[in-house]
Amino acid sequence: MSTADTAIPALSPTHYLDGMRQRLRSGDVGGLPVILGLALIWIIFWYLNPNFLTGRNLTNLALQITSMGTIAVGLVLVLLLGEIDLSVGAVSGLAAAVMAVVNVQHGLPAVLAIGAAILVGLAIGVLQGFWFTFLRIPSFVVTLSGLLAWQGVLLLVLGQTGTINVYDPTIVALTNTFLDPWQGWVVAAVVLAVVTAGQVNRHRRRRAAGLPPGSLYERAGRIALAAVVVLIAAAVLNGERGVPLALLILVGFVVVFDFISRRTRFGRSIYAAGGNAEAARRAGISVSGIRIAVFGLAGALAACGGILATSRLLAVNQSSGGADLLLDSIASAVIGGTSLFGGRGTVWAALAGALVIGSITNGMDLLALASWTKYIVTGGVLLLAVTIDALARRGRQAAGRA
């Protein structure tokens, strides 16, 4: 038996439960609140309207959250810096308008039109990031100005017509393509294989580094939970129209940016800059470069969200990117567990939060509740999420002093 094996004993279920209680007492709640909250929301709406958990409605829910969730991915990165971007809704509408104009009115191929829209979002994000970073103007003010300015540019781009209908098959296919059942099961199997490999690899790397590998029961539990969620989702969606391509696009963004944020030097620098910018500078991290890059990515992802929204609605108009999109995207990132204080959270928060917000909106629409009820409930859930974050932060600080 090796030294590492004797130094790192396997944890029993009792040790695992004790460790979980200790983490909760210290404020390390992780994704538990959002998981329990989502389960409670689904149970309530299913009880009030059995149609909520039907395959047709869950497919619609998956399509409804793709645009918001994609934008929320970029907002998670911004929030990890301890900053905010209030312009992402307007940027998504402007980028979608650019795509529609160059594709419909100027005949540019769909792929190039989509690329142009993403470049517009990226350029806007970089510009705002530069303005905030080097001119020392708070990101709140810079992006609030952008919120107003880019809405004006949207009206200018659309012109007098105010609405452009989009019929290009490539653009329409983004949210109107559904996998065959066998393809859906293949995707489910791949997802489970990736989750299992990730847990095994993490266990192996921690042992190789001489760190406690964690409880095998915890890792097995995570794999089992993922299996239940993925297999049930695949069965439900395959029972209707199939797994939507748009949902795979959203999950793809989440997986890619989760890997970037947690497994690359760039991602670790985001956390460092958000946790303590001055310490990050002294460690040799280009905080200014990180900030500009993150705002650029947020702009590009906002453009992608606008493209997905256009594909689903088949049109761009003067209200594109407006209404509740900005607030719902911010709420998705925060409700999913990303701290408003910076340096804490994961990209998966975007998907989890989008599911919560989307489920609330979808469920209340099924119940035909008044608009004022939707705003009050959504605001209350957001306030609850921020309160949990603040209390968890206070718990971590108390545990650190102890």
Q: What DSSP string describes 175-229?
A: HH-B--HHHHHHHHHHHHHHHHHHHHHHHHHHHHTTS----HHHHHHHHHHHHHH
Separation CA 237–CA 288 (nearest Å) = 44
pLDDT at residue 260, as a whole number: 93
Tell which wins on pLDDT, 402 or 56. 56
Q: Domain for residue 263, yes or no?
A: yes
In Å, what is the CA distance from 133 to each residue of 92, 282, 288, 298, 322?
Answer: 22, 17, 6, 15, 26
Q: What are phi and psi of 224, to 5 degrees?
A: -65, -40
Q: Domain for residue 19, yes or no?
A: no
Lowest mean pLDDT among 4-18, 24-38, 100-114: 4-18
Separation CA 355–CA 231 (nearest Å) = 17
In percent, how much of the chain has pLDDT > 90?
53
User: Going by C-beta distance under 8 Å and a sequence separation of 6 or more, which residues neighbour residue 35?
Assistant: 352
Structure tokens at 157: 């781009």
pLDDT higher than 60, residue 112: yes
Separation CA 100–CA 108 (nearest Å) = 9
Q: Which of 74-88, 202-216, 226-240, 325-339 has the highest mean pLDDT?
A: 74-88
Question: Residue 4 — pLDDT band, cuts 50, 70, 90?
Answer: very low
pLDDT higher than 70, residue 270: yes
Does the reported pTM lie above 0.85? yes
pLDDT at residue 195, as a whole number: 84
Q: Domain for residue 369, yes or no?
A: yes
Q: Contact, 20 vs 28, CB < 8 A?
A: no
Q: Contact, 188 vs 234, CB < 8 A?
A: yes
Number of H helices, E strands in the chain: 17, 2
Single-letter residue type at 375: Y
pLDDT at residue 392, as a whole number: 66
Question: Residue 67 — pLDDT band, cuts 50, 70, 90?
Answer: very high
In percent, how much of the chain has pLDDT > 70?
88
Q: Domain for residue 25, yes or no?
A: no
- For residue range 140-183, list pLDDT tens digits in order: 999 999 999 999 999 999 988 788 999 999 999 999 999 999 99
Domain of 323 in residue numbering reads as 32-177+244-393
- For residue range 193-225, list pLDDT tens digits in order: 988 888 888 778 877 777 776 667 777 877 888
- For residue range 286-338, list pLDDT tens digits in order: 999 999 999 999 999 999 999 999 999 999 999 888 878 898 898 888 888 88
Tell which wins on pLDDT, 33 or 276. 276
Q: Domain for residue 15, yes or no?
A: no
Separation CA 89–CA 86 (nearest Å) = 7
pLDDT at residue 216, as a whole number: 72
Q: Domain for residue 201, yes or no?
A: no
Mean pLDDT value across residues 115-122: 97
Mean pLDDT value across residues 103-111: 93
Q: Domain for residue 116, yes or no?
A: yes
Number of domains in the chain: 1
Q: Domain for residue 79, yes or no?
A: yes
- Domain with residue 317: its CATH number is 1.10.3470
Mean pLDDT, rounded, of the chain: 85
Separation CA 353–CA 235 (nearest Å) = 23
CA angle at residue 68 from 43 to 268, to 5 degrees? 100
In Å, what is the CA distance from 57 to each residue of 48, 196, 310?
Answer: 14, 30, 20
Enclosing H/E stretch for 163: strand 163-165
